[in-house]
Amino acid sequence: MIVARDVTIRYGRVVLFKDLSLRAEGVTLLVGPNGVGKSSLLRCIAGGNNCSGYIEVDGKVVQNGTKGLPPEKRGLAYLPQSGLAVPNLRVEEALSMINKYDEEVLEALGLNKLLDKRVGELSGGQLKRLSLALVLLSGKRAWLLDEPLAGVDKEGRSEIAELVARYSKSVGATVLWATHLQEPREVADRIITLGDEDVL
């Protein structure tokens, strides 16, 4: 579970959120219009600057007020919109960095056919799939996903959304997923619309 209470995010004099609270369990979607702050909220929970409040990840307090643990000690896996910064290795070598190797996940993401390719040769959609595999197989119990299906075709989006839901349940992970797409709604346990209220 991910719990956030009284979270405030500022950029200079601009206050994006003030005293926002939310609880995420299972597969929880963050939805709302572009610019409402979905990505900023995920960055805050992941350990980014410009935010304050109480944040708890899988029962562990990772931030209280303006003091918080660094990103690598928060016990979560974060996939930003840009994807993960993966060294330009062969895909198989990049996957050797993960906590657990799972053929089902690699096959579902189409990575089993790309193992000999260099990361720099992948298309945008393929790189997103590799980044998502690194999150799913990270061994972390909380995943922050920022538009992970961008650049993936419609059929692929449905398959990957189902994979994320199924695999997260099998390993007991909480997913907080920012999206504007329909396919993730079909597998969501909870949907939070940013911009409605300060307490969600």
The full set of domain ranges for the chain reads: 2-193
Instruction: Identify the pLDDT of residue 199.
Output: 45
Domain 2-193 has CATH 3.40.1440.10: no
Which tokens in the block code for residue 183? 């396919």
- Orientation of helix 124-136 relative to helix 154-171, angle to 10°: 10
Instruction: Identify the pLDDT of residue 63.
Output: 96
Instruction: Identify the pLDDT of residue 163.
Output: 95
pTM above 0.85, yes or no: yes
Q: Quote the CA–CA distance of 47 and 51 in Å, as a whole number.
A: 9
Instruction: Identify the pLDDT of residue 197.
Output: 56
Which residue ranges of the chain lie beneath pLDDT 70? Answer: 99, 196-200
Instruction: Identify the pLDDT of residue 196.
Output: 61
